[in-house]
Amino acid sequence: AVLGSRGDRLAPGRPRRRRWLVRRPGHGRRPVDLRPLRHQHPGRGQCRGLETDPGRFGLARQPTRRRAERLRFHQWDTIASRTITLADWPVASQSEYFTVPFTLPAARKGHYLEFYTRYVPSTSVKLDRIGLALPTPVGAQAGAATTSWEAEGAAIGHIVGFAEGDGWAASTASAAGFMTYGPYVGSLAAGEHTALWALMIDNNDYDEQPIVRLEVYDAAQGDVITDRTLTRRAWAQTMQHQTFGLPFTLDASRAGHPIEFRTYFWPRAYVRVDKIGAR
């Protein structure tokens, strides 16, 4: 969370300092707008310093012509960060996923978190979206599929990679793209589901770069319901298939739509998909 200084209003005639204030216009349950308020003149409004519990706002409403309320946060620090250089983009003018792993201690449960993107003006950068990847169920925790498809089978489509044994593989010599897409299953009822992938990798400790992105995709609406990016460290062992689960909710408006379970691949490792399933 970001926020600012503590103190009383400045006396008339003294230089006004820049402060971080919270401005909430109007009434009702509206988002809090955090912005620097350069001037807070006595008589035009009221400024109150409020103590808040971690992760909770306590805003006091008072009818004034100009209302500004200041909050003091108990914690303001960086949990994790990562610097991205030009060399981290393998291809220009193409979106690339970057991850910042972090651990949230129990003491921070319920805190408001922000995901900052600090830009250094050296080239043109477009930010597509920011997301939060929740822990991925793995192995026995992922559970078993009620329906499954062989990755090399006719029900599954492929753009990059090659058939290998009883699976579909891709290597560093392959292009980036979807190893698998489909199977356009339309029998899923509305409610909670889990998509499952049995995946193998050749190296799990070289770096922390993204290797595959697992997607649940609504082919009728043309949008991603949920996705999860896996780095090589997501695999506990090498050259053994490991099951990864991706929970998702199918709302009533999507019931009966053709759903895909897609595997997007970056050519940074050897990966093989054995089976894809759902329950």
pLDDT one-digit tens code per residue, 223-262? 999 999 999 999 999 999 999 999 999 999 999 999 999 9
Mean pLDDT of 11-15: 44
Q: Taking the CB of residue 258, how many other CB atoms lie within 10 A of it?
A: 16
Mean pLDDT of 110-127: 85
| pLDDT value at residue 50 | 33
- pLDDT of 5 > 80? The answer is no
**What is the overall mean pLDDT for the chain?**
76
- pLDDT of 16 > 70? The answer is no
Domains contained in the chain, CATH given: 19-72 (no CATH), 139-278 (2.60.120.260)
pLDDT in tens, 200-213: 999 999 888 899 99
Mean pLDDT of 35-60: 37
pLDDT bucket at 95, cuts 50 / 70 / 90: confident
Mean pLDDT of 136-144: 58
| pLDDT value at residue 138 | 61
pLDDT bucket at 110, cuts 50 / 70 / 90: confident
| pLDDT value at residue 266 | 97
Of the candidate ranges 1-10, 138-147, 245-254, the one whose mean pLDDT is the lowest:
1-10
Residue 175 to residues 94, 256, 270, 273: CA-CA distances in angstroms?
Answer: 14, 33, 12, 16
| pLDDT value at residue 120 | 86
Higher pLDDT, residue 113 or 203 = 203
Of the candidate ranges 34-48, 73-87, 227-241, 257-271, the one whose mean pLDDT is the lowest:
34-48
pLDDT bucket at 103, cuts 50 / 70 / 90: confident
